[in-house]
Structure 1
Amino acid sequence: MPIKIPKLLPAREILEEENIFIMDEDRAKQQDIRPLNILILNLMPEKEKTEAHLLRLLGNTPLQVNISFLKTATHQSKNTSPMHLEQFYTTFEQVRNRKFDGMIITGAPVELLDFVEVDYWEELTGIMDWTKTNVTSTLHICWGAQAALFYHFGIGKYELPEKCSGVYLHEVHNRSEKLLRGFDDIYFAPHSRHTDVYIEQLLKHPEVKLLSSSEEAGPFIMSANGGRQIMVTGHLEYEAGTLAEEYTRDRGRGLQVPVPKHYFPNNDPGRKPHNKWRSHAHLMFSNWLNYYVYQETPYEWD
């Protein structure tokens, strides 16, 4: 089944070329079924790229999914055109009285700031508080995961000696968890961040379950409250070349960032990297939509 997206969304052309099953509003209205309503709070600077990353994975299930994009009202994006935001995005005030089956809160390039220093932190905490009663399951990615761990459970973050960037090997700790059904015992996943969370606090917290981690990259996938909150500190949604783009961008800005580990063939940035995590990315998003959203959400919220 398809994902339903706005007819003119630029990501549509990319997804159609990849044979991702999508549907516009006109065709969706003709189908007499109850689709899942997913809200995406996109905090990434290059929003159109993130839209394609996430929609590619959300469109790989037998479920029909309605997508709504959310932007912050207290922060103006500098890397996405106002016309695009006006046409395809809404604000929290416009949706706060609605119920959503699932929600995704993305990462953001604000890790080196204390949470309270982020200019939209108060707005974000209001949204995260709202998800506890208005969303069946919320998936938090990278900085979004760290923000959720801090706000919901008081688990802090700390700055790393150097940026954690690369494709790392991970181990599954809880095979009975539905989110990890079908996962290999060990698998690859990309990370791109300057901070990490305190694993000691994670392991001691009675509500948080550490489902998967990496010896090099630290805690990766966590779940709380029966899957109502899911935190993923890396970027399974990334394309093969995304880390290379970030590395080139940062070096161009004069930043002393390391070459992404275990990523370029022979550690040579001049060579094209391979995607070693695609299957597990599709699997995790499919498991989330099926077991934590579709299987748990009420047919009629009222």
Structure 2
Amino acid sequence: MEAVGVFDVVLAVGLFAVAGYALFGRSRVHAAAMFLVFGVLLAVSWAWLHAPDVAIAEAVLGAGVTGVLVMNAVTATPEPPRALAGAGNRPGPWYGLLSGALAAVLAMALLGAVWQWQTVTGAGAVARGEMAATGVSHPVTAVLLDFRSYDTLLEIGVLAAAALGALALAPGGRLLPEPAPDTGPMGAMVRVVVPVLVLLLGWLLVAGSTRPGGAFQAGALLTGAVLMIYLAGLGPRRSMERWVRPVLLAGLAAFLLLAAVSAALAGGWLVLGEGWAGGVILGLEAVLMLSIGATLAVLLVLMDRINAAAGDRV
């Protein structure tokens, strides 16, 4: 067996083994840790399949942000003893049989879709033939913000609704407390690292029009920078909190404004003219980066605040 084949087999076996442990492990903390490992392996898999955009998104969003939320959720409350966990609430044998049957049907449907995909041709060629009209040269950015812009608009709407709903749960109605700033190593590190992250996210944002990158990846880095500032107790908290809701809605508002303008100028909703599509896409991605970064940061900060408030009550 060739070296490439060996790596493929090892990666596939590792994915199934880690996923199985995450689903059937008896400890919530161990299952959450395996979820993080699964996200890393999945990012490696996408990179191995020459899909760097998906690999970056999986690493920072799937394994990173989602992993933090899962780990925070499972450690927020103590795990019950094994003898009491699920006592009197164990599913019967039919539950396992039905779950296995549904999983088998889903697996067959996925295999059938993959098999049919090998015979479907033409969509990729059509997309590549229309790339020049989008004003960007990277196909992923062109698909997300031009060919498939309605889907992206709805995704941004879901993110904005989730963040605004989460803000309603803020303890005491405040998102950000006013702690004393960290004057030790943590504060010094944040003051050095955050400007570097800002430069890197700016590069990722601009690079998205010609290579892997874009609003989602840059927004995830922005989330990391905001969380570092939050943990170090830095930044003007009241000013930041005052601008949270406008920034959360900025991406959705920019998308809807673009839809209205394009309907008036180009004769269709989110139909971008060839002469100005590139600049509009880059500007829209900049606004989306701010909204995505703010949304993810709000969810993580609120999770930390809610857990801290619950611990104080206990």
Classify the TM-score, shorter chain.
under 0.3
TM-score, reference length from structure 1: 0.27
TM-score, reference length from structure 2: 0.26
Structure ranking higher on relative contact order (CA contacts 8 Å, 6+ apart): 2
Higher relative helix content:
2
Higher relative strand content:
1
Which one has a bigger Cα radius of gyration? 2
